[in-house]
Amino acid sequence: MEFRDLKKQYQVLKNEIDNAMISVATGGIFIGGMIISDLEKSLAEYVGVRHCITCANGTDALTMMMMALGVKSGDAVFVPDFTFFATAEIVAFQGATPIFVDVEKDTFNMDCKALEKEIISIKKEGKLHLKAIIPVDLFGLPANYHDIMLVAKKYNLFVLEDGAQGFGGEIDGQKACSFGDAAITSFFPAKPLGCYGDGGAIFTNDDNIANYVRSIQVHGKGTSKYDNIRIGMNSRLDTIQAAILQVKYNAFKNYELVNVNLVAKQYSEKLAGIIQPPYVPKGFMSSWAQYTLLFENTQQRDNIQNSLKRQGIPTMVYYPIPLHNQKAFEMLPYKNNCTVSEMLCQRVLSFPIDPYKDEKSIDIVIQALKIGLSLPLIKQGIQ
């Protein structure tokens, strides 16, 4: 069984994807061109914003937004403690200080009460300038942007939505990557909308941000790439990846997003009475980048993982180490009490999910999970 079955997806879309790749090869335009601009237009319209600027990967998208905001040494940027390293890495890369915020036990997303508590603490200390908040739409579920934006407005903070895992999610019908002042996503292959390599995008309604990002995306260009008006970088989405994404985007919006939610629904219904399924608040919709369960303790989580492994069923632990305990951040003076994040790192496990899973596959996973739950809790260590 595949954790996220990209092989099956390719078989379904094979003719369209093959034709798209061949079209790029025969056309001879491998960087830029109409395929890129058409994709950006389609994605901007889907999300509901004026601008979509594609780039080489999600981390570059975050980095370019830090540059656009002028994030620098002495700035404080608030990030969830339970997420992938890149969200905080790009803050430190600019010389600024990531401030780790604990998350909610049920949604796994940034806790707004914890956020305001950290903002008040940093403001009171007076050593750092309050700059921005980067909420993450973890595992496909949008963060609580209603409350986050209220906090941001109160303290005059920019909000950058990290929708690397969240593309396709919704809150009351509003699409992920349209929240905050700007947003990013990733097209890494295993994401809800992924290409066949690396890729990313920035979304915004701000014309100034869009123009600045388009400049620094290509070596700080002005009227052309040979007219360099600022220091930039080289971060463009390859045309062949855009062609693949256009095919996969059509499948995503037409049936994949609906199907993956049906798969998640089947999982949750079959898990009723066995273990608490993932929580999706009223009015929210997840794009299910991962289907993640919380177990009683590490030993139970490990029993489940081993049970599934013996039957050839892949699982993943996202994430085994909270950001505040990462070695790369050991010199930071701010080590917050992120007890929920620490607990989640020890007790969560993600299960196979994608739009192409059938009921038979789901039943196999559920049965293996039941076997794992029946095993005695013998300590085996965190995997």
The model carries a pTM of 0.96
**Where residue 180 sits, what CATH number does that domain have?**
3.40.640.10
Q: Are residues 106 and 186 in the same domain?
A: yes
Residue 131 is predicted with a pLDDT of: 98
Q: Which of 219, 247, 275 is the last residue of a domain?
A: 247
Q: Give the residues of the chain that fall short of pLDDT 50.
A: 379-383
What is the pairing mode between strands 75-80 and 129-133? parallel
Does residue 107 belong to any structural domain of this protein? yes
What would you report as the CA-atom Rg of the chain, rounded to the nearest whole angstrom? 21
Residue 333 is predicted with a pLDDT of: 87
Residue numbers of the domain that contains 184:
6-247
Strand (E) or helix (H) holding 77: strand 75-80
Q: Are residues 192 and 302 in the same domain?
A: no
Q: Cβ contacts of residue 92 below 8 Å, gap of 6+?
A: 98, 328, 329
Q: Are residues 292 and 170 in the same domain?
A: no
Residue 292 is predicted with a pLDDT of: 98
Q: Cβ contacts of residue 28 below 8 Å, gap of 6+?
A: none
Residue 39 is predicted with a pLDDT of: 98
Residue 383 is predicted with a pLDDT of: 36
Q: Are residues 235 and 291 in the same domain?
A: no
- 114 sits in the region (left: phi over 0; alpha: psi -120 to 50; else beta) called alpha
Residue 335 is predicted with a pLDDT of: 72
Q: Are residues 101 and 168 in the same domain?
A: yes
Q: Quote the CA–CA distance of 68 and 301 in Å, as a whole number.
A: 42
Residues paired with 186 in a beta bridge: 200
Does residue 379 belong to any structural domain of this protein? no
Does residue 380 belong to any structural domain of this protein? no
Q: How many domains does the chain have?
A: 2
**What is the C-alpha end-to-end distance of the chain, expressed in Å?**
20
Does residue 1 belong to any structural domain of this protein? no
Q: Which of 247, 279, 308 is the last residue of a domain?
A: 247
pLDDT digits (tens, 9 = 90+) for 224-274: 999 999 999 999 999 999 999 999 999 999 999 999 999 999 999 999 999
**Where residue 370 sits, what CATH number does that domain have?**
3.90.1150.10
Q: 16: buried, middle or exposed (CB in 10 Å: 19+, 13-18, 0-12)?
A: middle
Q: Which of 247, 269, 291 is the last residue of a domain?
A: 247
Q: Are residues 222 and 337 in the same domain?
A: no
Q: Are residues 89 and 222 in the same domain?
A: yes
